[in-house]
């Protein structure tokens, strides 16, 4: 029972439990290894360790309102999901496309490295280059650092990316793609989005061919 586990906590740990729970509900993910802006290094996230230590209490508490908490000890990710559809976070098309591009980059980079690191370093220019190479475009918008800044900020706020340096308004930041991206966009969704993009690119190509013929 949650009450039994919670009452075993010290007063200080009960306060920490409340604050960590709120951060988890707000962000959806808690990642073990995060970038420390002051120290300029990756460090262990104390929130992750706290949840790990009292995982059963968190699981029991969140279950009351339909939340499911999952811990991936290998990737170092604690992910939250809800059985009720109204509690699912909905993101706009632009952010979905950027998330898809980042997921592809993460998968490719991880397959080429064996250093045991689960976070991938990236910059805005490198991301834009990858998006162009994969024919991932923003309908009605030119791909620039500023045009994707809002989406990157959103992903940082939800612990899918970890900002290292730079300014969003200037459209040039560096960041880590965190392993939580594996849970934010699973393999089934990657396949679905790949099919949609292929169909869109095919339709655009056919329209261009038709325009040339008419001209």
Could you give the dihedral angle defined by the CA atoms of residues 149, 130, 93 and 212, in that order, rounded to the nearest 10 degrees? 120
> What range defines the domain where residue 68 resides?
2-86
Instruction: Give the end of a domain, one of 86, 108, 123.
Output: 86
User: Rounded to an integer, what distance in angstroms lies between the CA atom of residue 214 and that of residue 175?
Assistant: 46
Residue 209 and residue 105 in one domain: yes
Q: Residue 129 is part of a domain; what is its CATH number?
A: 1.10.10
Residue 208 and residue 107 in one domain: yes
Residue 69 and residue 53 in one domain: yes
Residue 159 and residue 181 in one domain: yes
Rounded to two decimals, the pTM is 0.86
Residue 138 and residue 188 in one domain: yes
DSSP for 109-177, please give it.
Answer: HHHH--SS---EEEEHHHHHHHHHHTT---TTS---TTTTHHHHHHHHHTTSEEEEEEETTTTEEEEEE
Q: Which residues pair with 174 in a beta bridge?
A: 123, 165
Residue 41 and residue 113 in one domain: no
Residue 64 and residue 127 in one domain: no
Instruction: Give the end of a domain, one of 86, 121, 142.
Output: 86
Residue 100 and residue 159 in one domain: yes
Residue 82 and residue 99 in one domain: no
User: Rounded to an integer, what distance in angstroms lies between the CA atom of residue 118 and that of residue 114?
Assistant: 10
Residue 106 and residue 76 in one domain: no
How many domains does the structure of the chain reveal? 2
Q: In a 10 Å sphere around its CB, with 0-12 CB exposed, 13-18 middle and 19+ buried, how is residue 188 labelled?
A: exposed
Q: What is the pLDDT along the chain (215 residues), one digit of tens a residue?
A: 788 899 999 999 999 999 999 999 999 999 999 999 888 899 999 999 999 999 999 999 999 989 999 999 999 999 999 888 666 778 888 999 999 999 999 999 988 876 678 999 999 999 999 999 988 888 788 899 999 999 999 999 999 999 999 999 888 999 999 999 999 987 777 777 777 776 766 655 544 444 445 45
Instruction: Give the end of a domain, one of 86, 115, 144.
Output: 86
77-82 and 67-72 beta bridge pairing: antiparallel
Residue 202 and residue 128 in one domain: yes
Residue 196 and residue 119 in one domain: yes
């Amino acid at each position: 029972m949650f009450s039994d586990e919670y009452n075993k906590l010290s007063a200080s740990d009960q306060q920490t439990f409340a604050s960590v729970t709120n951060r988890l509900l707000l962000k959806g993910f808690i990642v073990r290894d995060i970038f420390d802006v002051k120290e300029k290094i990756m460090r262990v996230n104390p929130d992750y360790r706290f949840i790990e230590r009292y995982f059963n209490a968190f699981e029991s508490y969140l279950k009351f309102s339909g939340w499911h908490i999952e811990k991936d000890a290998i990737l170092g990710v604690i992910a939250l999901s809800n059985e009720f559809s109204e509690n699912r976070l909905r993101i706009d098309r632009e952010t979905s496309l950027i998330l898809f591009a980042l997921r592809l980059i993460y998968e490719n980079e991880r397959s080429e490295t064996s250093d045991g690191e689960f976070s991938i370093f990236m910059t805005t220019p490198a991301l834009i280059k990858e998006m162009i190479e994969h024919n991932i475009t923003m309908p009605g918008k030119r791909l620039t650092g500023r045009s994707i800044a809002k989406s990157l900020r959103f992903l940082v706020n939800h612990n899918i990316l970890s900002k290292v340096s730079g300014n969003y308004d200037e459209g040039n930041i560096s960041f880590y793609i965190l392993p939580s991206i594996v849970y934010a966009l699973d393999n089934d969704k990657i396949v679905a989005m790949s099919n949609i993009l292929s169909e869109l690119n095919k339709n655009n190509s056919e329209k261009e061919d038709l325009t040339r013929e008419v001209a």
